[in-house]
Amino acid sequence: MATAKAYTNIALVKYWGKKDAKLIIPQTDSLSLTLNEFYTTTTVKFNSQLNHDIVKVDERFLDKEDAAKVIHVLNIVRSLSKTNSFAEVTSINNVPTAAGLASSASAFAALAGAASTAAGLHLSRRELSRLARRGSGSATRSIYGGLVEWQKGTDDASSFAKPIDEDVDFPIEMLAVLINTKKKKISSRSGMQLSVSTSPYYKAWQEVVAHDMVAIKRAIKEKDINKIGHIAEENALRMHALTLSADPAFTYFNGETLMIINAVEDLRNHGINCYYTMDAGPNVKIIYDHKDRDKIVTRLTDIIDSDRLVVSQPGPGIKIWNE
């Protein structure tokens, strides 16, 4: 038996589209910031007395269909460790599930760490990153803390994450605005597939990401929060342009999303540097320098309750321990 705690990450340069859906090999590289306020804790116990896997998430037992992706990762672990035992999986999310807050990133990173350790495997962080990817693409980055790059690679062995700056020593923060924490109507997987197959702008998106990856790594090296934020904001808008240009078109935004975007732009027009990004959901994440936090929070509490604002700093990598 082993337990792992992994933290969510929010992509600054987005992952949006798979080249290989089975192995979850992405179309492009991506880069993210691991956050210290959102995480998943998962315990895995292999038990030779069980006749099937038991998966419990947030005090609810999942049926076989809902647990399919978890069982898929467990099967990979069983194959690697040459064990036939079924497992008991207990997972608690300190992050709303399937709401565009990267719950699958922390969940499958934690599962990969706990399951592999419980099965007696001693995987390197790169190997853990590859294993986590098989459950959810973004989970490959949650093995590491701070700023993390996912190299798309060309196959299972070459597609993994690596740290860019795990000990972030400049005052970047991210404010999560929890607009709607319910499960989204269109999953990330479905949205990606539709965008890749039907948006006439998908090829241009790949070129945008290649450019943004070079630019944001330079900005990180310079510790330039404004450049990082600007690149992240433009990249997010261009990702969401793919959803609007898909057939049929769809969006993850709602009215409150646009209100927050307008508030951020208004703050910037008044000399307070802050930038927004959104994943596959209506919730907005705001990037800024720590010194401007109070002004940003004060402005946003004019339009949204303060208990829906969560401040995060760069978070740590995965932690694993034997029970």
Q: What is the pLDDT of residues 14-32, one digit of tens each?
A: 999 999 999 999 999 999 9
Q: CATH 3.30.230.10 region(s) of the chain?
A: 2-167+316-322
For 279-293, write each residue's pLDDT tens digit: 998 999 999 999 999
- The secondary structure of 193-204 as a DSSP string is HHHHHH-TTHHH
Q: Measured between alpha carbons, how far is 173 from 188 in angstroms, rounded to an integer?
A: 25
State yes or no: pLDDT of 100 exceeds 60: no
Contact 312, 293 (CB under 8 A): no
Q: Do 114 and 3 contact (CB within 8 A), yes or no? A: yes
Q: Is 262 helix (H, G, I), strand (E, B) or coil?
A: helix
Evaluate if residue 97 carries a pLDDT over 70.
no
SS3 119: coil
Q: How far apart are CA 78 and CA 58, in angstroms?
A: 24
Distance CA 108, CA 276 (A): 26
Q: What DSSP element (H or E) covers 221?
A: helix 202-221
Return the CATH number of 172-312, one of 3.30.70.890, 3.40.47.10, 3.40.190.10, 1.10.287.130.
3.30.70.890
Q: What's the confidence (pLDDT) of residue 202?
A: 98
The whole-number pLDDT of residue 23 equals 97
Measured CA to CA, the distance from residue 12 to residue 148 in angstroms comes to 10
pLDDT in tens, 107-150: 999 999 999 999 999 999 999 999 999 999 999 999 999 999 99
Number of residues in the chain: 323
Residue 8 has a pLDDT of 94
Residue ranges of the chain assigned to CATH 3.30.70.890: 172-312
pLDDT for the residue numbered 224: 98
Q: Whole-prediction pTM value? A: 0.94
**Domain 2-167+316-322 fold:** Ribosomal Protein S5; domain 2 (3.30.230)
Angle 225-212-37 from CA coordinates, rounded to 5°: 50
> What local confidence, expressed as pLDDT, does residue 181 receive?
74
The total of other beta-carbon atoms located within 10 Å of residue 163's CB is 17
Share of the chain above pLDDT 70, in %: 98
**pLDDT band, residue 36 (cuts 50/70/90):** very high
What gap in Å lies between CA 104 and CA 99, rounded to an integer? 10
Q: pLDDT tier at 96 (50, 70, 90 boundaries)?
A: low
